[in-house]
Amino acid sequence: MSETYVKVAFPIPLRKIFDYRVPSQLKEKVGIGKRVLAPFKSYEMKGFIVDFYEDEYREGIKEIKSIIDEKSVIDEKILKLCNSLSEGYFLPLGQLLGISLSPGLTFGKNVRERKGEGGKISVPSVEDKFIEEIMGKLKEGKPLVLSAEKEKRFSIYIEIARRLKLEGKKTIFVFPEIIKANSFYKIEKNDLKQSIIHSSLTLQRKAKELEKIISGEIDIVIGTPQILFSPLKELGLIVLDEEESRYFKMEENPKFHSLWVAEKRREIENCSLLLGTTLPSVETFYKIQRKEYQFFRIPFQKKFDIEIVKEREPIPLKVLREIRKNLKEGNQILFLTVRKGMGSLLICKRCGWISLCPKCKVPLKAHEEGEQLCHICGWREPFKLYCPECNGRLSFIGAIGTERISQILREKFPKVKVGILDLEKTRTRKAQRKVWEDFYSKKINILVGTQLLLTSMESLKHKCKLMVIVKPEVNLSLPDINFSEETFHLINDAIEILEEEGKVIVISELPEHPSIKWLEEKNPEFFYKKEIKIREALGYPPFGRIVKLILKRKTLKGVGRFSRSIFKDLKGVEKGIEVIGPSINPYEGGEKKSVQIIIKGEKGKVNEWLKEKIEKLEKHSIEIDIDPSSLI
């Protein structure tokens, strides 16, 4: 007599699917996409049925305890999406399926509804000719990159969603951060019924929003990357706004990139994909060049002045004069410093040479022992005194914090109110909101902050007349492959919040670096072409695949010993694949110590290598990160 067996995926960081026998009293309830309660190790866990089959009785197969759902909680297309992502990007299927479900899902029970917060802000309309052209391009099939100022993008998104609604189609809007999803949610959309989902909502609110989506009453869904898995029927369009944001790549398991999910869901649903941006990511620009993506640009109408000041001083005299002039005119000023430096950067100010790792081509970090160290591959070398290119004397560039900048400003302008916005002073959303309220009520004349200045804004109306960016090249001291692009986008994001006829001043000791010089040239392609050439030479994405293997143990000795044994095994890889490391991650906090190994090579070869090694890597609880946004 045959038995019924189910294949179950658990929401754990393992790709393995487990077989269970179904008790006779539960056979009639078996269905793909339903949740089960099953024994797992020494406890019971909820998992998802991803397949079932008939077979003879087999010894050693455990039975499921119960089938939780009366009907499937995983849409057929979502299951297909998760399966495809799991196979293509080595992601745990159970964790992907878990994302598609709200923890507060109730199906049929009454849930108290919290009043929505949408529809309070308006955006200017965009000419019909632009809408018509964009709609035409979307129907051509290829993903479309829309380059326009944020307010215009938002206006276009809403109008396209309205037109799709008339065709019986729905739209998903994905934003890299909660605050940006909230900003779009608050814009007036009149006849569009909207839903919003992100991690800050209560379980009750998530459940209510998800039930509205499932019921079909919603026209548009807004949220952060998890909503790419939402069970929205009749999907006509997926929009990723600020597609260049590094926050679209998840740092926690499952480590997917939103663009992977959007492209795969577009393929499965036969819908359109729109990537919104001011300036696209390097990889997206490359795809535009290769005609893999369509491109549509609405010319920027904002006029602004640019000045790059090459000085060592944190705030040079000519910048102080500009500040004084703006204060007299009643203008408020924003000062942007980069993240706290991860160490000093050794550069030549004469020719722009930067001390890079000869293997990884990322900046070396200076250590007190008189050495420079690469935190990706472990390369060490002594300090150099003179530039190997032009024989000029080398200098160190370090970060200048918000406290130091604000102290100088208070000394120079004692009657002026200076505020600070960073994660030390204003960690909570409430504290950040209070700073912005003080700034816009003119209780603060000059606001000094880190990148939090750019990411904590809640209103599209937040603008300033003068923006001063202090030493953006400190970003270049990050031992990472994306250090140049991070600096490029940081400067561009700052420009976007300038008022009409505003001015941006960049104080830099390295103005010739492409990530800064493009601003003086007013030509983003200057940066893209330089960066693409470098990535092609090094085999970095989009020209190759990078995999970060992360090993965590309780002690440094333990993780070191284990990583060396793994590294020996990996050394025997085929030609065309490079193994870099192991190296200790000096920036990781917490109880466990972390060591990483980098695998680099042609995409196809790396994928084949991973297929062979995946079971062994998972057996040793090694985290796998495909094309990570950061190597540190």
Q: What is the pLDDT of residues 371-423, one digit of tens each?
A: 788 877 778 888 888 888 888 888 777 667 888 899 999 999 999 999 999 88
Q: How far is CA 595 from CA 373, 377, 392, 586, in A?
A: 15, 11, 37, 9
**pLDDT for the residue 462:** 63
C-alpha–C-alpha distance, residues 548 and 56, integer Å: 42
State mean pLDDT over 23-29. Answer: 94
Q: Which CATH class is domain 304-342+400-538?
A: alpha beta
Highest-pLDDT range among 56-60, 270-274, 360-364: 270-274
State mean pLDDT over 163-173. Answer: 96
**pLDDT for the residue 341:** 43
Is-same-fold flag (3-99; 545-626)?
no
**pLDDT for the residue 585:** 67
**pLDDT for the residue 591:** 59
**pLDDT for the residue 342:** 42
- Reported as a pLDDT band with limits 50, 70 and 90, residue 131 is very high
Task: Look at residue 40 and tell me whether its pLDDT is greater than 90.
Answer: yes
The two structure tokens encoding residue 574 = 């085929």
**DSSP code per residue over 246-269:** GGGB-SSSS--BHHHHHHHHHHHH
Which CATH code is given to the segment(s) 128-297?
Answer: 3.40.50.300
Which segment of 42-46, 342-346, 597-601 scores lowest on mean pLDDT?
Answer: 342-346
**pLDDT for the residue 586:** 59
Q: What average pLDDT does the structure give for the chain?
A: 86
Task: Look at residue 306 and tell me whether its pLDDT is greater than 80.
Answer: yes
Q: How far is CA 236 from CA 159, 161, 162, 202, 396, in A?
A: 14, 9, 11, 28, 52
Q: What is the pLDDT of residues 558-616, one digit of tens each?
A: 666 666 666 666 665 667 788 887 777 655 555 567 788 888 899 888 888 888 878 77
Q: Which is more confident, 264 or 563? A: 264
Burial class (CB in 10 A: 0-12, 13-18, 19+), 247: middle
Q: Which is more confident, 588 or 541? A: 541
Which segment of 2-16, 96-110, 243-257, 278-292 scores lowest on mean pLDDT?
Answer: 96-110
Radius of gyration of the chain (CA): 26
Q: How far is CA 276 from CA 147, 156, 288, 298, 524, in A?
A: 6, 10, 13, 11, 17
**pLDDT for the residue 113:** 37
**pLDDT for the residue 562:** 65
Residue pair 524/516 in contact by the 8 Å Cβ criterion: no
The dihedral through the CA atoms of 599, 603, 608, 614 has a sign that is: positive
Which segment of 93-107, 263-277, 535-549 scores lowest on mean pLDDT?
Answer: 93-107
The dihedral through the CA atoms of 143, 148, 152, 154 has a sign that is: positive
Q: Which CATH number fits domain 545-626: 3.30.2320, 3.40.720, 3.30.70, 2.60.40?
A: 3.30.70
Residue written as tokens 């204003």? 426
State mean pLDDT over 171-183. Answer: 93
**pLDDT for the residue 325:** 96
**pLDDT for the residue 139:** 92
Q: Which is more confident, 374 or 102? A: 374
**pLDDT for the residue 386:** 87
Report CA 79 to chain centroid distance, whole Å: 24
Domain residue ranges of the chain, discontinuous segments joined by +: 3-99, 128-297, 304-342+400-538, 349-397, 545-626
**pLDDT for the residue 257:** 95
C-alpha–C-alpha distance, residues 548 and 624, integer Å: 6
- Reported as a pLDDT band with limits 50, 70 and 90, residue 355 is confident
**pLDDT for the residue 120:** 65
State mean pLDDT over 451-465. Answer: 74
CATH architecture group of domain 3-99:
3-Layer(aba) Sandwich (3.40)
- Reported as a pLDDT band with limits 50, 70 and 90, residue 368 is low
**pLDDT for the residue 112:** 36
What is the value of pTM for the model shown?
Answer: 0.87
**pLDDT for the residue 351:** 78
Q: What is the pLDDT of residues 189-231, one digit of tens each?
A: 878 999 998 888 888 888 888 888 888 899 999 999 999 999 8
Burial class (CB in 10 A: 0-12, 13-18, 19+), 444: buried
**pLDDT for the residue 108:** 36
Task: Look at residue 109 and tell me whether its pLDDT is greater than 80.
Answer: no
Q: What is the pLDDT of residues 564-574, one digit of tens each?
A: 666 666 665 66
C-alpha–C-alpha distance, residues 472 and 457, integer Å: 20
